[in-house]
Structure 1
């Protein structure tokens, strides 16, 4: 992570970024603008080391935040004839170092977090994210083990995945269910997966892949899609209930087992000072009496109401993420650049650059999720010993760096972190 050694007379970029954030928190935007120009000139490189890359993306996020406030208070930008150049590039300053500069918003293309302009690039980079970092695989493996044990002995299994993406989580589970049934001399259960996403074409492709894989195993399998339209962003609880009814679930709580997977999803239902949408969703799905609800989230407080607190938290969290990428990938890795730009860079822009309803990535620490889950009627399920052993094997085989660390908390949550900083948590509930 970024160094802040008090022994050194050199001013480190972390100190400068925090100072810039402090100026913004005091609404001293022109001073922040000048300081950001210096930081971006001297320390920000998209293809540099982990510190330079981290500074690069934080400079972009701070730039957007400053521009929005300066534009709202500067009358000159109302003139449509003004054309101010943007110099953001790999090794070029974000701002001119001579004087405060306003950048017009139409020169800063910012795709919506709901329907993104480069959705194909983002989805393809998800596959790279799954390959170059252990975080997604760790979440999938741990959640799958909890589901496998919770649905044991049922003749029919329904999995509701609230963030299905490419569906890469499910082939290993389908194979594990089949192998376990074969070992125990039982008939393999019927399996249905309902996958949720905002992109219908993505759901079509994901469903086709999973059907082909299930067919290769000889499983009785069905894939249903749940399209989360823009109007349902605020409250997905009704969408989920209606989807289950529309698909004629004929849900029998005695013979069928329902598993709900919420990997990197529940934080999307949070709003500033408002957990009503989240709690409505949890109360709705609790009435379905799921055998297990798996929860995978970032271990970071990116829902802090004060900008400065959120900024420092994000700086340390993503600093650890970028350090882990530096240690496990070669210096000029194109996959790493794609992942940092399409995923972590976009998250930083959201956490740092946005405010109010525009901000979507409201990650919380496990202790906050634990309070919400218990108050919504869920009880925690103990971690299986296989979960820890599988996670250890994953790191040893695919990410052999001593920096990655696993930690069991309260016997019901497994953390994956980098050098003593937890970054991801997985837990299961009923």
Structure 2
């Protein structure tokens, strides 16, 4: 949460993904969002608010269900409680179902892909419910890099495609040079991570004093763990790049959706209002929206 307050990267990903979902589910009366890395659920209150505000007064708001996946059951249950309370406050029919995944990143796909579509109670955290009358959106913000190699990524995307979602949202880190299939060599992983995180730390330097408690917490609890993971054996999967994620998605039968001009304008407004440093820039390219730091 502190990271979102001092840096725009995750809020940018959430905002643009939410706009894509909002566009895809317009007019639907029952909406199901499968969030494959739900964590604290900070992405969803703005979307729930937007859905409620767009509702037809005569028909009333649609019913929204979020299946939130993660490795910590207690965190998912707390997230569900917060989101249910928020939905009640805006009078939006809402359900939250936790989906418990293996804590090991290499097992994420196996756990998800083996989840059945059997009916469960809303508190069950062991299986995935799919209802044919729902419009499904699958949210893969900062998730695809956690999967294994090309074969596992392809199998996962084919599994998602088989559910016939209205939209799949993807947000990942991008590197100079378009990314890599996999980086086996530690020095190369270190060089790529250095390139990425030097820009991240430069952005923090321009917006937050080095000794602030918020920045120290973010460096230790968020960025430190990310860097450890990026340098580890699985870190070579982090830097896939847009072309490789896109090629895998097309190979599974997906097609790109047109980029929403409103989403891009909202992203730029987010930067102007909350992160006024001139170093951040939003760019539309190759059918995607990028947030970068001008070094």
Q: Which residue does the alignment assign to 1:176?
A: 50
Report the CA distance shift for 1:241/1:214 in structure 2 as closer, same or farther (over 3 A).
farther
Deviation at 1:167, TM superposition (A): 0.5
> Any residues of structure 2 matched to 1:121-270 within 5 Å, and which?
127-182=1-56, 185-230=58-103, 233-237=106-110, 239-240=112-113, 242=115, 244-247=117-120, 249=129, 251-252=131-132, 255-270=133-148
Alpha-carbon distance between aligned partners in 2 of 1:402 and 1:230, rounded to the nearest angstrom: 38
For residues 168 and 360 of structure 1, the distance between their equivalents in structure 2, rounded to whole angstroms, comes to: 28
| Contact 2:189 2:236 (8 Å CA) reproduced | no
Q: Give the aligned partner of residue 278 of structure 1.
A: 153
Relative to structure 1, is the Cα distance of residues 361 and 325 closer, same or farther in structure 2, using a 3 angstrom cutoff?
farther
Residue 191 and residue 243 in structure 1: after superposition, are their counterparts in 2 closer, same or farther (change >3 A)?
A: farther
Q: 1:321 maps to what in 2?
A: 200
Contact (CA 8 Å) 1:241, 1:284: kept in 2 or not?
no
Aligned pair partner of 2:294 in 419, 423, 428? 419
1:404 is aligned to: 280
2:173 to 292, 298, 303: 298
Deviations 1:341-388 (A, max 9, x none): 122122222323x23x5x486232111111111111111111111111
Secondary structure at the counterpart of residue 381 of structure 1: coil
TM norm structure 2: 0.90
Q: Give the aligned partner of residue 310 of structure 1.
A: 189
How many residues align? The count is 284
Q: Please state how far the C-alpha of 1:176 moved relative to its aligned partner.
A: 0.3
Q: TM-score, normalised by structure 1?
A: 0.63
- Whole-Å separation in 1 of the counterparts to 2:47 and 2:108: 29
Larger-Rg structure: 1
- Counterpart CA distance in 1 for 2:116 and 2:223 is 31
Contact 1:347 1:361 in 2 (8 A): no
**Secondary structure of 1:406's aligned partner:** strand
Secondary structure of 1:236's aligned partner: helix
Question: Kindly tell me: are residues 231 and 328 of structure 1, through their superposed partners in 2, closer, same or farther at Cα, counting changes over 3 Å?
Answer: closer
- 3-state DSSP of counterpart to 1:405: strand
State the superposition RMSD in angstroms. Answer: 2.0
C-alpha distance in 1, partners of 2:195/2:160?
A: 34
Deviations 1:177-216 (A, max 9, x none): 1111147x54211110000010010011000000011111
1:231–1:369 distance in 2 versus 1, CA, 3 Å = closer
Query: In the alignment, is the contact (CA less than 8 A) between 1:235 and 1:277 conserved in 2?
Result: no
CA distances 1:230-255 after superposition (whole Å, capped 9, x unpaired): 47842525535525434483521xx4
Q: Do 2:116 and 2:129's aligned partners in 1 also have CA atoms closer than 8 Å?
A: no
Question: Which consecutive residues of structure 1, in runs of 5 or more, have no partner in the other structure?
Answer: 1-126, 421-430
Given that 2:80 and 2:96 are in contact with CA atoms closer than 8 Å, whether structure 1 keeps it comes out as: yes
Superposition map of 1:360-375 within 5 A: 362-375=238-251
The separation in 2 between residues aligned to 1:233 and 1:243, in whole angstroms, is: 20
Kept in 1: contact 2:105–2:147 (CA 8 A): no
Change (3 A) 1:235 1:327: closer
- The 5 Å alignment of 1:114-125 reads none
Moved over 3 A (4+): 230-233, 246-250
Sort the Cα spacing of 1:227 and 1:360 in 2 relative to 1 into closer, same or farther, 3 A. Answer: farther
Who is 2:123 aligned against?
none
Q: CA deviation at 1:337?
A: 1.1
